[in-house]
Chain A
Amino acid sequence: MTAVPGTVAPGPRRRVEAWLGTLDELLGRRIVFRAFARLRVLCGPITLWHLWPFLADSLEGRTYRDAYWRPYASWLPEVPTPLYLVVLWLGAGAAIAMTIGWRAQAATRVAAVVVAGNLLVSTTHFHNNRAYLSLVLAALAIGPCDRRNAVGPAWPLWLLRFEASCVYLGSGVSKLLDADWFAGTVTWQRVVQVRGLVEASPLPGPVVELLVDPGFHTVAAKAIVATELFIGLGLWWPRTRRKAIAVAIAFHLAIWVSAEVQVFSALGIAALVIWARPQRAPQRPADQRAVIGT
């Protein structure tokens, strides 16, 4: 950097302060959380869908502790079964309340705690889609989501956008770095393993032939990696956001029909609402003054 004659270039401390000031402005910027209100409504049925297998087990008198389960840490206290069942059904009620908007903020917080708690009671409950649902509900529980015109600081939205982006980028990068994945071996073998199902499907013969052709997968695998990376990065920039959202919807629908991913595709599509540009709300005087270091 070249200093303008007669001026002094800002020192490192000033630059850090300026950077932190920009960060604080972004995180603290007051916005209208319309996207969170919409996502809350969509997440109600998704939460219920997610909880349903556990609820169905409870109706038959079963819980996770009746079969192999494993706590994340041996020192974690075991949840008494009656309490677990009450909490589980409370979560189902909260999911319904989220959708119909009855005490929506409190209901979302309850649902977030129940889904996260159910995930954390046993390692056998872990699936990526459930973890993503937990993170989405946690963000909704923190940020205001009870009304379409609710106003609050933007940081919960930024965090949820960061997590959503990580889902696509983490997946894309891991496939990019895996030689078997990038070469197409993994997708080709997955199709070969279910070849009988593919051949019995309504797909036309030439499509089936294409799907079991290893040459097709050398190209398809790279397209999948590029798709995930494009979604993860493209959502951040206004110029690419619409295309990234369209690609993400197609991507999730393709996964929905081709793989068993529980609530992942529905959640992935629903969560795209957070990329709508939030409307800015008037700043409070206290927020304008609260810039550390100035």
Chain B
Amino acid sequence: MDPRRRVLARRVVVAVVVVAQLGFLVRGYHSPQRELGWQMFPESTEWQAEVVRVLDDGRWVSVGEPWPGGYTWATLVRGSGLSYPDQRQHADAGLAAVLDDLEHALAWVAANTPADTETRRLDAVVRTWRNDASPGPEVRLSSPARS
């Protein structure tokens, strides 16, 4: 490559990486997931959720109860840190990240349990505790209705 072009390309690559990283650092203060924001151990907040299947007749059934198709919540969300929502637990990457993940997990489970023909949607009622252990707002999350 022409030496001048090489120098220009080098400048561009370095500038893109530096600007992108600085952008991710700033984004970490607004985004729930904070990728490349390098905010380690950001909170001591805790959460606990009651996750239920909402049936066609409106009844709520805990995901801990037997599930048509033999599904189990812990298996369906394995590896995501959401396996045991009924236990009060630390929000490792922050409460916003947990709520964001749980909402998407509800949608994924609703869309990926074809043998369950009785569930209209999944809901979660999330209790939260702030950094100082005082109760925070209760948050309700829902999956889209299943067709």
Contact = CB atoms under 8 A, between A and B. Distances in A.
Interface of A: 20, 23-24, 27-28, 64, 66-70, 123-124, 126, 128, 131, 153, 155, 158-159, 162-163, 166-171, 174, 178, 180-181, 185-190, 192-193, 259, 286-287, 289-292
19 contacts: A24-B10, A123-B104, A128-B38, A155-B14, A159-B14, A162-B18, A163-B17, A167-B38, A169-B38, A171-B39, A180-B131, A180-B132, A186-B43, A187-B44, A259-B41, A286-B3, A290-B3, A291-B7, A292-B8
In this complex, the member of A158, A171, A189 whose beta carbon has the largest number of chain B beta carbons within 10 angstroms is A189
Given A68-B82, A153-B10, A170 B28 contact: yes
Interface of B: 3-4, 6-8, 10-11, 13-14, 17-18, 21, 25, 28-29, 33, 35-44, 46, 75-80, 82, 90, 101, 104-105, 108-109, 131-133
Contacts of B13: 155
Nearest to A264: B40
A292 B44 contact: no
Contact of B14 (A158, A171, A187, A192): A158
Given A131-B36, A163-B21, A170-B38, A189 B7 contact: no
Contacts of B39: 170-171, 174
B41 to A, nearest CB: 7
Contacts of A287: 3
Nearest to B42: A174
A280 B39 CA distance: 35
A131 B35 CA distance: 8
A266 B105 CA distance: 31
